[in-house]
Structure 1
Amino acid sequence: MLLSRVPVALRAFSGLSKHKTQLKQSVRYSGDLVWAYRTPPPRTDKKFYVMGEVAQGFMWWWIFWHLWTEPDHILGEFEYPDARKWTDAELGIPDELEVDE
């Protein structure tokens, strides 16, 4: 039974040796993207770093300016009530006389 399989296996192995040149990967062009597999990526232009810094500077200016001029967005519009001025009834604490009974 094994002898019947030998010719099939030999044909399969002989076919692999003929197609060695066809097993190479094809080149894929994906527009302007640079493939950087196992190599360092190309350096980014300085103008992109400058544009990023300008965008970040504008963002932080916007945040701090609105925190300075309109703090109610974060802190709320109304004054926080003083809890020391609240009565027991407002806090939902029962009277001492009612608890003993």
Structure 2
Amino acid sequence: MLISRGLTTIRTLKNLRTNPVNQIVRHGGHSVNYRSGAPPASKNLIYAAEGVQGFMWWWILWHLWTEPDHILGEFPYPDPTKWTNEELGIPSE
């Protein structure tokens, strides 16, 4: 296995020496923020983000107010002091 990997590595290095990889700059129509700050967001984008966040918090708080059982559970928590040994799986002596 090491021999096959070694041969592949040697072939790859030989190809790189004869045909070096050229780094081509691609102009994809977007800005590149390498070592600089991001461009400022537009007012419409800020308003849209605030609107989505507001709707999200309204949705969460409304459902916590009207349907708290999703978080707290539907049934009251049982009192473990009332359980019998049989229910707990403890064998009788």
The two structures share one fold, judged by TM-score above 0.5: yes
Question: What does residue 41 of structure 1 align with?
Answer: 38
Rate the CA distance shift 1:77–1:34 in 2: closer, same or farther, 3 A. same
User: Map of 1:1-16 to 2, 5 A cutoff?
Assistant: none
Total equivalences in the alignment: 71
CA gap of 1:27–1:85, structure 2 versus 1, over 3 A, is: closer
Mark the CA change 1:93 to 1:34 in structure 2 (over 3 Å): closer, same or farther: same
CA–CA separation in structure 1 for the residues paired with 2:90 and 2:34? 69
The counterpart of 1:30, out of the listed 28, 48, 71, is 28
Q: What stretches of structure 2 of length at least 5 have no aligned partner?
A: 1-22
1:58 & 1:77 partners in 2: Cα distance?
Answer: 26
Q: CA RMSD in A?
A: 2.4
State which structure, 1 or 2, has the greater radius of gyration over its C-alpha atoms: 1
The residue aligned with 2:85 is 88
Q: Which runs of 5+ in 1 are unaligned?
A: 1-24
TM-score, normalisation: structure 2: 0.58
Alpha-carbon separation, structure 1, partners of 2:81 and 2:24: 77
Q: Counterpart of 2:66?
A: 69
Distance 1:88 1:27 in 2: 74
CA pair 57-90 structure 1, distance change in 2 beyond 3 A: same
